[in-house]
Structure 1
């Protein structure tokens, strides 16, 4: 059977998988399109992924749906062999990755004054052993948004339409976005960001493919969304320099729209000038699109740009601090934002944060030219345990400690000194130790159940779910043993506690909304402590 027929068969399987109620269609499109049907007959097929990670991810999240879709389409049960064919990975002229020097003055992704740094292209399909994030922007850099113009100031349709005499107008400076030091090579991969990383690399290798257009990456502030977007930009600029990439923070879009509105009376083409740099892009990366909430003027003109680019096969990459469905804007916008691949980045666990801290230490060693620079293991562990989800704060904590060592001409810092220096540093960290009672109280309030119910014997779903959540959070946020946790919930044994933790962990991997609920609960617990 010719490959084109295999492609058509596989496309029909993907479409069938997308009809399943418990499948995210955009994610199915993005992931399953990375697979290749190699052999097919009734009851049997061979499918290959281009790397082991993608194979494992499909096995865990989609293989059961593939079995089901094949049987639904063909009417017979199927045996599916899923293997790895690395030769099918997209090929590029990318140079071998090289270590990136830490920036001397990286003032954040939107700081146009930062010195450009030549970007190292990634090793495509990398699944690096180290886990963390590097070269996070300065956490103290401030960004301010211009006020959104009143809706009645929006341009009339004729003012937005192209004007014949404007073809030679110069483009705004934003089109020449500076190259940052954020690359795929220095983005350290963890389970919490791996799939978003894979999809970002896929877009960088071959921008414009429908199943990843737009690519939408979301997660809380400081988890690496901007890093991935800048890495896409850097990779394309180095490996496909004929393509024009434009990165813009949404605050800049809002300010630019305000300027165009203000100039409209004297400059009829102001809206066209505003849009021109973005509409001429081959790859447009827009950071923090949640800022467009309740800004109908800017949102409408951004939507025009979005439609023009995607209709012409140009790549859009978007980021936000939440999923498209949770951004307060008209459904026609969120539907389009969610049309391609939508992937989240979750906060790193303690082990990953320790690895990130080690990577920052390596960065400081390189900057200072001093291989002896280090922080004691107990200090590293302390920073990882008390810090919140914002990875930027890890780097600033390491910076504070190294500056203290430098100022006092010492080559180490004690745990007591670190605790004193960082006592009020972490916005997401607790100001006092979390207790099981704190967690139970917040879970009870969130799910509107009584304390008697959460520790009692009732097994209805509206009680079991909050009970499992409370058990999971106590295990994660305190150092209590399984037996001690069981005693807090009516004397349950450690096996029951473990089952609750496993059930919650499984639900976390499968349900994005549930992950967001747990993030909210963690925030409520920490806020109650401050």
Structure 2
């Protein structure tokens, strides 16, 4: 009997709606008085009448939902009591919908309990040259979770490019194929918070909760940096899940080997599966994203307007969505049709032509990215950790500004124009074969263009 309530609690502990102090404040104090598996009746006792009423009214449906899952997806009726007081019928008027009815409401509730956003599905993801490899890998993992060569799946790229979307899409597809799969989507910051709370409360159930998952989706894994205790905990979870054929999906803003302050054994594990980049979307993909987002909002966006916005908004999907919303709102408030002229007015304060990017902007962004001084861009020093970033800055200066080779050389401490030409040719050649460098350049271009 106790095993049933323990199974319920293990599931409730992983529910994203019970994060923070909610689980410890409202679920842990509950005591199971009885469990009748033949009739599906669970009697729960709260420590006080007010506690019973708040828990029942606020979390009763969530508890019933996970109790049903623990009961082989058979309906469970909950009777609420106060310690040894007489049972009181639950306020729930009907049993949860059975999974075989394929109710959208139940599917959405299940996804939400796993920390997933139902709108971030594969159907709503716009593919293109910049993300088709990552999309293909994500779809394969969703249909074949636990495949050794894809475990973990490590998706990396700049802000707002679709990493999180793909991660949620994997979770949604896994649940669609197997509603009983134990799935959890959580940010690295939330994982850290849960770990710290477990340490404070001496809760050994923390490890069991994560180690019992079938699919763990961890967003922004770079946030684990410089947190030794948390990294040790995650290493233990990682080893337990992967060794038992359970799938892990990670997202990050950088290549695994470049993670800052992350233990080498973790970086090695992250790089040991399938690593796929997502680059800033090319023009055609940006245009397709805008058309798709407009359609989801029930708006008709003319292709020429989508092209105009896409041509000027180059950084990421979030920037595109913000621009689209601004255009739609401007048209609605003014009672006019969406057009190029209208879009120009709506976006006049955020459209920035490339010629406003300066070499100095590029030098600062590149120096910050590679942790060197801006002064090193002008020096004659040639150690690799300075020379390569300097060559990259020269390359980006030529690509993103209207400056000539001699003008760029002058702004790099009076370098000869042939030095700049050599740097540009070298970086252009290397990026074609060096996946890591190519990704770094995409990230830098994104950061510079949104400077």
Secondary structure of the residue aligned to 1:196 is: helix
Structure number with the higher helix fraction is: 2
Q: Which residue of 2 aligns with 1:412?
A: 338
* Pair 336,447 (structure 1): closer, same or farther in 2 beyond 3 Å: farther
Q: Which residue of 1 aligns with 2:324?
A: 398
Q: Tell me if 1:228 matches 2:166.
A: yes
Conservation of the 8 A alpha-carbon contact between 1:175 and 1:278 = no
Give CA-to-partner distance per residue, 1:227-273, whole Å, 9 cap, x none. 11111111111223343322111222122123223322xxxxx231x
Q: 431, 434, 437: which one pairs with 1:511? A: 434
Alpha-carbon distance between aligned partners in 2 of 1:406 and 1:510, rounded to the nearest angstrom: 48
Conservation of the 8 A alpha-carbon contact between 2:20 and 2:194 = no
Give CA-to-partner distance per residue, 1:417-450, whole Å, 9 cap, x none. 6455445558xx6797225686589779869465
Superposition TM-score, scaled by structure 2 size: 0.62
Secondary structure of the residue aligned to 1:510 is: coil
Say what the alpha-carbon RMSD is for the aligned residues. Answer: 4.5
Secondary structure of the residue aligned to 1:294 is: coil
Q: Which residue of 2 aligns with 1:356?
A: 289
Q: Which residue of 2 aligns with 1:321?
A: 253
Unaligned runs of 5+ in 1: 1-109, 114-143, 147-169, 265-269, 454-460, 491-495
Q: Which residue of 1 aligns with 2:189?
A: 251
* Pair 449,320 (structure 1): closer, same or farther in 2 beyond 3 Å: closer
Alpha-carbon distance between aligned partners in 2 of 1:447 and 1:522, rounded to the nearest angstrom: 21
For residues 154-173 of structure 1, what are the structure 2 equivalents within 5 Å?
A: none
Alpha-carbon distance between aligned partners in 1 of 2:375 and 2:437, rounded to the nearest angstrom: 13
Deviation at 1:469, TM superposition (A): 4.7
Conservation of the 8 A alpha-carbon contact between 1:200 and 1:228 = yes
For residues 73-152 of structure 1, what are the structure 2 equivalents within 5 Å?
A: none
For residues 330-341 of structure 1, what are the structure 2 equivalents within 5 Å?
A: 330-341=263-274
Conservation of the 8 A alpha-carbon contact between 2:281 and 2:314 = no
For residues 114-513 of structure 1, what are the structure 2 equivalents within 5 Å?
A: 176-264=114-202, 270-272=203-205, 274-325=206-257, 326-364=259-297, 367=298, 373-374=300-301, 377=304, 379-413=305-339, 415=341, 418-419=343-344, 421-422=346-347, 433-435=356-358, 448=376, 450=378, 469=392, 472-474=395-397, 476-478=399-401, 485=404, 504-513=427-436
Deviation at 1:275, TM superposition (A): 3.0
Greater Rg over alpha carbons, structure: 2
Secondary structure of the residue aligned to 1:406 is: helix
Secondary structure of the residue aligned to 2:179 is: coil
**Aligned residue-pair number:** 341
* Pair 249,425 (structure 1): closer, same or farther in 2 beyond 3 Å: farther
Superposition TM-score, scaled by structure 1 size: 0.53
Mean Cα deviation higher: 463-472 or 379-388: 463-472
* Pair 111,498 (structure 1): closer, same or farther in 2 beyond 3 Å: farther
Conservation of the 8 A alpha-carbon contact between 1:184 and 1:231 = yes
Conservation of the 8 A alpha-carbon contact between 1:324 and 1:334 = yes
Alpha-carbon distance between aligned partners in 2 of 1:258 and 1:466, rounded to the nearest angstrom: 38
* Pair 376,513 (structure 1): closer, same or farther in 2 beyond 3 Å: closer
Unaligned runs of 5+ in 2: 1-14, 22-62, 68-109, 368-372, 410-418
Conservation of the 8 A alpha-carbon contact between 1:237 and 1:243 = yes
